[in-house]
Amino acid sequence: MPTGTGSATDLGVDVAAILDDAREMVACESPSTDLAAVARSADVVARVGERRLGVAPERIVLDGRTHLRWRLGAGPSRVLLLGHHDTVWPIGSLLTHPCTVEGGVMRGPGSLDMKVGLALAFHAAAGRDGVTVLVTGDEELGSPSSRGLVEDEAWLAEAVLVLEAAADGGALKVERKGVSLYDVRLAGRAAHAGLEPERGVNATLELAAQVQAVAALADPAAGTTVTPTVARAGTTTNTVPASGSFAVDVRVRTLAEQERVDAAVRALRPALPGAGVEVHGGPNRPPLEAAASADLLARAQVVAERLGLPPLTAAAVGGASDGNFTAGVGTPTLDGLGAIGGGAHADDEHVLLDPLPGRAALLRALVADLLAAPTNPAPAARGARP
């Protein structure tokens, strides 16, 4: 496990302060679906951030969800530090999963995903001009209200650093699959299943045909998965089903694959005479392709070597984050810069404390490096936003 070669003091890191900040945020439960809880959490995150950054954030409430933004300095924002304060844990989780720090491990709901990451962001941005810290409140739901906000801030920046937890062994996340979600609805015609089934159009049979057609769109060699999931059809056991539906989960490594599958799903046509097919949904998050992270990864590796940290590794992961959105607008994006640990969304969610000084030092030094030398053209030079 990466630890760094120097002490926290050698690296200029106040680990105790980072842990205090993280504990304060973990202690305020913030399930994404509870608007009041997310608002309470935003108050706590705002207080912690103001204490470290010296200024209060802008509060941005969209569809009842509270997001926070700090724009530091009078000049244009050049580096975006991105995170979220909502979690998957329901109210009351602290009673069964209390926040503890012992034996070199921090535990607690949302500690790894991603309140320690927020604490790291505040400490890395402190005293910096040209940095924006954006903390959203609905990432775990797919960012329904904050997507536009995330994309707008990314478009203004030269680089985006995402404070999601690291991959196994502390690896940075340089590639994330894009996600598309579909609801395919089938229309048939009801008839009595015993007396005159031939007068009906069986939506279950249509569903079966369409499920097979959709599943065949997968391409394992390209890393594309197309998975029919929840399916429903019919109303009673003695009636030819008049309707049905099934959900589809698509994961892709490239935008070209996402577009190919989307076109094919939308081109579905009925297999049975008299049946109907409607497709709802579509791409939810674009892929974070490796090319979007390559330059930032190389810079981070140089910074880590300069600090005397172990060599940085990189990983491709299947899960999505708001980094998919920032890469989608063309801004270089490096993900997984948050805490190192395991068990995100699970009973054993935890953060390892030994690597924390190195992680904090890496993030702060990388921000400084990016502010010293541009990595991406100014927004105006990139043309109109996609």
332: pLDDT strictly greater than 70: yes
129 as an active site residue: the answer is: no
> What percentage of residues in the chain have a pLDDT greater than 70?
94
Active-site entry in 138, 139, 335, 349? 139
Q: Catalytic annotation on 139? A: yes
Which among 230, 259, 285 is the end of a domain? 285
User: In percent, how much of the chain has pLDDT > 90?
Assistant: 91
Same domain, 218 and 263: yes
Q: What is the pLDDT of residues 8-41, one digit of tens each?
A: 656 889 999 999 999 999 999 999 999 999 999 9
pLDDT band at 378 (very low <50, low <70, confident <90, very high): low
The residue range of the domain holding 35 is: 15-176+287-382
1 located within any domain: no
Same-domain check for residues 219 and 254: yes
Same-domain status, 55 and 166: yes
pTM of the model: 0.88
On whether both 128 and 273 belong to a single domain, the answer is no
**Predicted confidence (pLDDT) at residue 386 exceeds the cutoff of 90:** no
Task: Indicate which CATH number applies to the domain containing 207.
Answer: 3.30.70.360
Average of pLDDT values for 51-71? 98
Look at residue 44 and tell me if it is in a domain: yes
pLDDT of 218 strictly over 70: yes
- Euclidean distance between CA atoms 298 and 190, whole angstroms: 61
Domain count within the chain: 2
Same domain, 227 and 80: no
Q: Are residues 172 and 75 in the same domain?
A: yes
List, for residues 243-290, the tens digit of each pLDDT value: 999 999 999 999 999 999 999 999 999 999 999 999 999 999 999 999
5 located within any domain: no
Given the residues 86, 164, 262, 322, the one annotated as active site: 86
Domain stops at, among 250, 285, 320: 285
Query: pLDDT digit string (tens) for 348-358?
Result: 999 999 999 99
